[in-house]
Amino acid sequence: MRSTSRQRRLTAAALTALAVAAGATACSSGSGGSGSTDAAGGSYTVWDPYPQFAKDSAWTKLLDRCGTEAGVKIKRTGFDTGDLAKKTLLAAQQGNSPDVLIVDNPVVSTLAEAGVLTTTDDNKLDTSKVDANLLAAGRSGGKTYGTPIGANTLALYYNKEVLKKAGVDIASVKDWKSLTAALAKVKAAGKKGITFSAIGTEEGSFQFLPWYWGSGAQLTALDSDQGVSALSLWKGWLDKGYAPNSVINNTQTTSWQEFASGDYAFSENGTWQLANADKAGFEYGVIPVPAATGGNAAAPTGGEFVTIPVQEDAGRYVTSQKLVTCLTSGDNLYSTDTTLSYVAPTAEVQDKQVAANAGLKPWVDAVKAAKGRTSDDLGTKYPKISEQMWKAVQAALSGSESPEDALSEAQSAVK
């Protein structure tokens, strides 16, 4: 059992932060808790957010192979993303953390601040090849906790036939002005413009962030002129009929279903829809979300970090480090990220992915421009900021408040 002082650190505030942070993106067998106390052998526990993978899946076979190479047996449990975050905190309170934890990246800083995770300096994990913008999602207080296993993010899918009939050349869509002009042409041609998710949850914030960051706004100042311009963009699209009112209640799934109807020119969505896109029955393309004045906007990173939780027996870290190194080696990252529809976190493996599938190039570009939601050392502040952000988006799009007033109230609530 952990000491009383450690238990006090794992408070309701951490639980609240976990509940909010775990809600956006991440899409088994075994039992939880640490295995054998023999640090040089026995069983090691791995918890992950992939309950969809059964015992005979490529993922579980990889875990078993890494265990064999490290001389241990793997006991694995797959949880839903939200459940995993809560169970991890509870296990830490009980002194029964897994040896290796694979967790949604926004949760890393919360667990780190609660004292649940070891740092990469502590456990000697090599993160030198990982893209800095992706690694930043696992940093808190100047220290790094774990390494990304892969990343997904948001971009714009487009329907080639709809744009062709509207006379829109996708190469002309480079910024907000040209995107809005394209939407106007699509509407004039009798089709629908763009669909996205603005629901009053973390999904809504997740989808708003590329536009918010693409304006130049920072999460520490929700009511900045740049932030207001981003929300005004969305509101203007609804007012002009370029986006449907349904976006207020759309999840990323229902938004995709609208795009899959074939009537929409654009859909903001993620790499996890690639398989569905191939089944949609029409030709599509993908471009990164454009920033206000051109270039690629920073979209939020989804995907998981592989971390090593704090253990009573520090001797276990050597083997845990071997397991994590095996899981995140170049060859294993390539096969795992292909299975998960993730972009790899290293340039070396990204190049290999694009060589095998040229259609991944825009996603690699989007991931290279992406940003962690808890980056900039926001840590446990992010969930509160995000909640006020989605409330402001809801208020503005519903017409109950202006974008200026909605974001002003949001900033006041955060303070």
User: Judging by DSSP bridges, how do beta strands 154-159 and 264-270 pair with one another?
Assistant: antiparallel
DSSP string computed for 309-353: B--SSGGGHHHHHHHHHHHTSHHHHHHHHHHHT-B-SBHHHHHHH
Where helices occur in 114-251 by DSSP H, the ranges are 120-123, 132-135, 160-165, 176-188, 202-214, 225-239
Confidence band, pLDDT 50/70/90 cuts, at residue 175: very high
Q: Are residues 171 and 287 in the same domain?
A: yes
Q: Are residues 143 and 112 in the same domain?
A: yes
| Residue 79 or residue 267, greater confidence | 267
Residue 109 contacts by C-beta under 8 Å, 6 or more apart in sequence? Answer: 137, 138, 139, 140, 145, 374, 378, 379, 380, 382
Q: Are residues 328 and 396 in the same domain?
A: no
The pLDDT score that the predictor gives to residue 40 is 59
The pLDDT score that the predictor gives to residue 338 is 84
In a domain, 45, yes or no: yes
Instruction: Give, as one character, the DSSP assignment of residue 289.
Output: P
Backbone phi, then psi, for 272, in 5-degree steps? -70, -10
Name the least confident of 34-48, 64-78, 323-337, 364-378. 34-48
Q: How many CB atoms lie within 10 A of CB 259?
A: 27
Q: What is the overall mean pLDDT for the chain?
A: 89
Whether residue 36 is predicted with pLDDT greater than 50 in this model: the reply is no
In a domain, 373, yes or no: no
Residue 214 contacts by C-beta under 8 Å, 6 or more apart in sequence? Answer: 176, 230, 289, 290, 291, 292, 297, 298
Residue 62 contacts by C-beta under 8 Å, 6 or more apart in sequence? Answer: 327, 332, 335, 336
Are the beta carbons of 306 and 147 closer than 8 angstroms? yes
* Cα Rg of the chain (Å, integer): 22
Question: What is the reported pTM?
Answer: 0.82
Average pLDDT over residues 349-378: 91
Q: Are residues 17 and 162 in the same domain?
A: no
The pLDDT score that the predictor gives to residue 374 is 87
Q: Are residues 132 and 260 in the same domain?
A: no
**Hey, what amino acid is at 114?**
A
In a domain, 56, yes or no: yes
Whether residue 18 is predicted with pLDDT greater than 60 in this model: the reply is no
Name the least confident of 18-27, 112-121, 167-176, 250-259. 18-27
**Hey, what amino acid is at 141?**
G
* The token pair that represents 406 in the structure block: 């909605």
Q: What is the pLDDT of residues 254-273, one digit of tens each?
A: 999 999 999 999 999 998 89
Q: What is the pLDDT of residues 196-254, one digit of tens each?
A: 999 999 999 999 999 999 999 999 999 999 999 999 999 999 999 999 999 999 999 99
Q: Are residues 329 and 310 in the same domain?
A: yes
Confidence band, pLDDT 50/70/90 cuts, at residue 349: very high
In a domain, 262, yes or no: yes
The pLDDT score that the predictor gives to residue 72 is 97
* The token pair that represents 283 in the structure block: 């030709």
Q: Are residues 190 and 265 in the same domain?
A: yes
Distance CA 49, CA 33 (A): 16
Coil, helix or strand at residue 398: helix
